[in-house]
């Protein structure tokens, strides 16, 4: 099995921390500079079961000008080309500006989407349940997986779930 996986989400939700944890030193490129290229490979994870290629999608946010519009089209094309999308949010921050726009774009693609709720080490379990219910109403996520990329909680389970979708 093999597949391309795009990780999307607002800045600081923990995308790089997650990739660091699953791929470790093998990550070739680690940059917080805005990306102008599409489909930048962030790292490849090979297990006994599958090969997973993680892709960084250029920031997707509501366009303020024509160029922004173009970048969003590129991002949406990327969504169509990958096998799975991980939409990562920060459990601590909850629903925020930008999420609504991303979810609207996801509605235009057929690719399965997982909701990955990161930083669960920072929230009370009740708060997490409220968040899960809130997001489930917005989009039919194939899986909803709470993790702590920093501490490693549930990361192994997420990798298992990804492999099942490839
Ligand atoms: P990115 O912008 O989405 O790539 O986010 P980063 O991976 O750079 O993480 C942003 C900040 O959140 C860093 O200070 C991380 O150490 C922190 N962070 C990432 N994951 C977790 C987590 O699971 N728990 C906590 N408490 N902090 C985290
Ligand atoms: Mg990053």
Q: What percent of the chain has pLDDT over 90?
A: 54
The answer to whether 70 and 55 have CB atoms below 8 angstroms apart is no
The radius of gyration of the chain from alpha carbons, rounded to an integer in Å, stands at 15
- Look at residue 112 in the predicted model and tell me its pLDDT: 97
The answer to whether 164 and 31 have CB atoms below 8 angstroms apart is no
Kindly give the distance from the C-alpha atom of residue 52 to the centroid of ligand 1, in angstroms, as a whole number.
21
pLDDT tens, position by position, 32-83? 555 444 556 678 899 999 999 998 765 566 666 666 677 777 778 888 889 9
- Torsion (CA) 128, 145, 23, 124 in degrees, nearest 10: 20
If you write DSSP's letter for every residue of 27-61 in order, what string do you get? ------SPP-SSSEEEEEEE-SS-EEEEEEPP---
Least confident segment among 19-23, 35-39, 82-86: 35-39
Q: What SS3 state is found at 115?
A: strand
Kindly give the distance from the C-alpha atom of residue 17 to the centroid of ligand 1, in angstroms, as a whole number.
6
* Structural domain range at position 50: 2-164
| Structure confidence at residue 134 as a pLDDT band (50, 70, 90) | very high
- Look at residue 68 in the predicted model and tell me its pLDDT: 67
**Mean pLDDT, residues 5-13:** 88
Ligand nearest to the CA of 18: 1
- Look at residue 102 in the predicted model and tell me its pLDDT: 87
**The two three-digit tokens of residue 162, written as one number:** 């990804």
Does the beta carbon of 113 lie inside 6 Å of ligand 1?
no
Sheet containing strand 113-118, strands side by side: 40-46, 51-56, 2-8, 84-90, 113-118, 143-146
pLDDT tops 60 at residue 87: yes
- Look at residue 164 in the predicted model and tell me its pLDDT: 96
Ligand 1 closest atom vs CA 122: 26
Does the beta carbon of 31 lie inside 6 Å of ligand 1?
no
- Look at residue 28 in the predicted model and tell me its pLDDT: 43
Kindly give the distance from the C-alpha atom of residue 147 to the centroid of ligand 1, in angstroms, as a whole number.
12
- CATH number of the domain residue 158 falls in: 3.40.50.300
- Look at residue 114 in the predicted model and tell me its pLDDT: 98
Number of domains making up the chain: 1
pLDDT tops 90 at residue 132: yes
- Look at residue 50 in the predicted model and tell me its pLDDT: 94
Most confident listed range (27-31, 79-83, 160-164): 160-164
Ligand 1 closest atom vs CA 19: 7
Does the beta carbon of 57 lie inside 6 Å of ligand 1?
no
- Look at residue 37 in the predicted model and tell me its pLDDT: 47
Q: Which CA distances in Å does 142 have to 13, 31, 59, 84, 95?
A: 20, 29, 23, 10, 19
């Amino acid at each position: 099995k093999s597949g391309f996986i795009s990780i999307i989400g607002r800045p600081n939700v923990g995308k790089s921390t997650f990739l660091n944890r699953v791929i470790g030193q093998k990550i070739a490129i680690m940059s917080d500079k805005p990306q102008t290229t599409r489909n930048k490979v962030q790292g490849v994870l090979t297990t006994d079961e599958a090969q997973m290629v993680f892709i960084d999608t250029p920031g997707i946010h509501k366009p303020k000008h024509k160029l922004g519009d173009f970048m969003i089209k590129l991002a949406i094309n990327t969504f169509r080309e990958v096998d799975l999308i991980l939409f990562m949010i920060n459990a601590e921050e909850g629903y925020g500006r930008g999420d609504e726009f991303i979810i609207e774009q996801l509605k235009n693609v057929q690719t399965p989407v997982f909701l990955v709720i990161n930083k669960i080490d920072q929230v009370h379990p009740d708060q997490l349940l409220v968040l899960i219910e809130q997001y489930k109403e917005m989009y039919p996520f194939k899986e909803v997986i709470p993790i702590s990329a920093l501490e490693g909680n549930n990361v192994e389970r997420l990798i298992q779930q990804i492999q099942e979708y490839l």
